Amino acid sequence: MAGAKLEVESGAQLLARLSNKPKLKNLDTLLFQDGPQPKDVIEFYGEEGSGKTEMLLHLVAKCILPSTWCGMNLNGQAVGVLFVDTDYHFSVIRLASILEHCVNSAVSLQHRLPKNDRCFKDLNEGRTLDSPPKEDEIDTFIKACLKRLFVVKCNSSHQLIVTLHSLESLLDSKPDICVLMIDSLSAFYWIDRSNGGDNVTTQEANQRRTVDVLSRLVMTYNLVLFATKPAIIQRRANDEGTSSTTSTDSPSHFACKNKEKDSPEHYEYLCKSWQKFVTQRWTFSRSHKPFVTTMPSNAILNRYKVTIADLKMSTKLTRQFCITDGGIEYIM
């Protein structure tokens, strides 16, 4: 047919697209009933400081850790993760701290077992040892885990679109990459809206281009996509009983903040192509009621809540958690 475009792909591209990627069924059983599944698109929605980025780091750690190491269960997935940082919130030091906490927790669990049941494995020979891995061995292990993580930073919508296009070569060469994360998808919303003038179509042009590239990556390479979307616009009731919208940076927002619910009402401000693309929405909030720990001391921590809505199945799940030096801990 005249004008038809011939699609050509290399053998490496075909292998990356069709190869059986590792399953993520046990990524976190408290958050996922059966999944996440390839091609899931999961949106993290909530105000600044509600735990979205921290949850991403929690899931990154779960992804890049192996299932076992030195005879200890780490309950990881040993898969690759692509992290696109547009808000410049990503901290590799924080992630390394979370990974170290996971390993040290596994070591402590082994020590609580009866001596005859302890089973530390030698890294090279596979023989059983009486003592846990040394500190330098743990550091080497964490560095090896971090090699499964690929981080790119973007400072504009155009750079984000170009970067997403360029990721195809990396995905072709790394078939073990199963997860793509973006923090955040709406980082350049106000800039694009200002540059677009009064035309909504022009304002949303970069959003649509971004979603088009994301859709192709997710569908072609069977990825799971996590993307944060801050609650930068919220609906509130006015004195006449009708609703209006306000930016979360406006003075009126702070004036009525104490009257808000623990879970903010979702307000959609991204383009329709993104709305159709999302399969799950996780709504994050920080509770006014603190959490008091009992171990090791009576520390007072912020209490957070995430409500997980499956937009395809119309189901909801709620979890509460706190953020410690070692990462996320659930409040049961």
Highest mean pLDDT among 6-15, 143-152, 252-261, 311-320: 143-152
Of residues 50 and 289, more confidently modeled:
50
Cα–Cα distance measured from residue 168 to residue 172, given in angstroms and rounded to the nearest whole number: 6
Q: One-letter amino acid identity for 51? A: G
Contacts of 283 (CB under 8 A, 6+ apart): 45, 46, 263, 264, 266, 306, 307, 309
Comparing 74-83, 166-175, 250-259, 321-330, the range with the smallest average pLDDT is 250-259
**pTM for the complete prediction?**
0.85
Token look-up 């195809």 returns 168
* Cβ–Cβ < 8 Å for 254, 287: no
Residue 154 phi/psi, 5° resolution?
-130, 145
What are the pLDDT digits (tens) for 216-247?
A: 999 999 999 999 999 987 665 454 444 555 55
Phi, psi of 46 (to 5 degrees): 165, 170
- Non-local (6+) Cβ contacts of 101 within 8 A are 325, 326, 327
Q: 18 falls in which pLDDT band (50, 70, 90)? A: low
For residues 67 and 27, give the distance between their C-alpha atoms in angstroms, rounded to a whole number. Answer: 10
Of residues 64 and 2, the one with the higher pLDDT is: 64
Q: Residues 258-294: pLDDT tens digits? A: 444 556 688 999 999 999 999 999 999 998 888 887 6
Q: How far apart are CA 143 and CA 166, in angstroms?
A: 25
Other beta carbons within 10 Å of 104: 13
